[in-house]
C-alpha cells in the first residue's frame, strides 16, 4: 500500500467509526462494532473493511503490555506507569453511570477523550456505550481464552503460547497493594 491508499484508508475508517457511533442503532448487536482496519486497493476502486464487535458483557477489549526490556531493566518506571494507569482507570470507571459516561468526573473524562482522540464531538462520548475496564488492572482471563480459542480455531495463531503464559498481573497487584483495592466514588 502507498501513502495515498493508507491516508484514504484512515479517512474511511474514521468516517465509518463516526457513522457507527452516531447512527447505528440495531438491537441485534450485543457489542460495539469497531473498524479495525481499512485496506484500499492501489487503483482506489475497492476497500476491504475489517470489523470486530467489542463490548459484549465481560469481553476483554484491551490490555496493557510491557516489553521484556522495560520489565527487566526499568522495573521501577514500569511500576510507576502501572500505578498511574490504574489511577486513570479508576477515574474513568467512576465516570461511568447507567452504561454511559455520566457519573462523577464525566466532564473531565469526556474533555480528555475529545482532546486526545480523533472524535472531537463530546456528544458522541456521552451517547456511546463505553468500554468497561477492571479498576484494579486485572485482565479477564476467561475472555482472553475465548478469543484465543476463536483465533486458533481459524488458523490465525501459530505456535504453542498459551493465555496463561502471557498474563502477568504482578504490576497490577503491586499497584493495588500501593493504592488499595478500588472503591467506587459515589
**Residue 9: inside a domain, yes or no?**
yes
Residue 186 lies in a domain: no
Q: Would you state the pLDDT for residue 17?
A: 81
| pLDDT given at position 137 | 92
Helical ranges in the chain per DSSP H: 3-23, 68-73, 75-94, 106-116, 122-127, 141-153, 163-166, 170-179
Domain that residue 14 falls in: 3-54
Q: Is the pTM of this model over 0.85?
A: no
Does 90 share its domain with 173?
yes
The predicted structure's pLDDT at residue 52: 66
Residue 110 CB neighbours (<10 A): 18
Task: Tell me: do 96 and 41 sit in the same domain.
Answer: no
C-alpha cell at 75: 522495573
25 and 92, same domain (yes or no) = no
Q: What b/e string do you get for 51-76 counting C-beta neighbours within 10 Å, with b at 16 or more?
A: eeeebeeebbbeeeebeeeeeeeeee
Return left, alpha or beta for 111; rule: phi > 0 is left, psi -120 to 50 is alpha, else beta.
Answer: alpha
How far, in Å, CA of 185 to CA of 100, rounded? Answer: 16
Q: For residue 173, what pLDDT is reported?
A: 97
pLDDT in tens, the chain (186 residues): 688 898 998 899 888 888 877 776 665 555 666 777 788 888 888 888 877 665 556 677 778 889 989 999 999 999 999 999 999 999 999 999 988 899 999 999 999 999 998 889 998 888 887 877 889 999 888 888 888 887 888 788 888 889 999 899 999 999 999 999 999 886
Do 31 and 95 have their domain in common?
Answer: no
CB 175 within 8 A of CB 137: yes
Q: 45 and 100: one domain?
A: no
Q: Is residue 172 part of a domain?
A: yes
Instruction: Show the cell assigned to 31.
Output: 457489542
Looking at the fold, whether 77 and 119 belong to one and the same domain comes out as yes
Q: Count how many domains the chain has.
A: 2
Q: Do 40 and 129 reside in the same domain of the chain? A: no
Please check whether residues 43 and 94 belong to one and the same domain.
no
Amino acid at each position: 500500500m502507498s501513502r495515498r491508499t493508507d491516508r484514504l484508508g484512515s479517512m474511511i475508517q474514521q468516517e465509518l467509526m463516526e457513522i457507527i457511533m452516531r447512527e447505528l442503532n440495531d438491537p441485534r448487536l450485543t457489542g460495539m462494532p469497531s473498524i479495525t482496519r481499512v485496506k484500499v486497493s492501489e487503483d482506489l476502486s475497492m476497500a476491504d473493511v475489517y470489523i470486530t464487535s467489542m463490548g459484549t458483557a465481560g469481553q476483554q477489549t484491551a490490555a496493557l503490555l510491557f516489553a521484556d526490556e522495560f520489565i527487566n531493566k526499568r522495573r521501577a518506571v514500569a511500576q510507576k506507569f502501572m500505578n498511574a494507569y490504574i489511577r486513570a482507570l479508576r477515574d474513568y470507571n467512576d465516570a461511568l453511570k447507567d452504561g454511559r459516561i455520566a457519573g462523577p468526573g464525566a466532564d473531565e473524562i469526556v474533555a480528555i477523550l475529545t482532546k486526545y482522540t480523533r472524535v472531537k464531538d463530546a456528544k458522541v462520548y456521552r451517547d456511546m456505550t463505553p468500554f468497561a475496564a477492571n479498576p484494579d488492572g486485572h485482565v479477564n482471563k476467561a475472555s482472553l481464552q475465548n478469543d484465543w480459542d476463536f483465533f486458533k480455531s481459524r488458523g490465525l495463531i501459530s505456535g504453542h503460547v498459551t493465555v496463561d503464559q502471557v498474563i502477568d498481573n504482578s504490576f497490577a497487584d503491586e499497584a493495588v497493594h500501593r493504592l488499595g483495592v478500588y472503591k467506587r466514588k459515589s
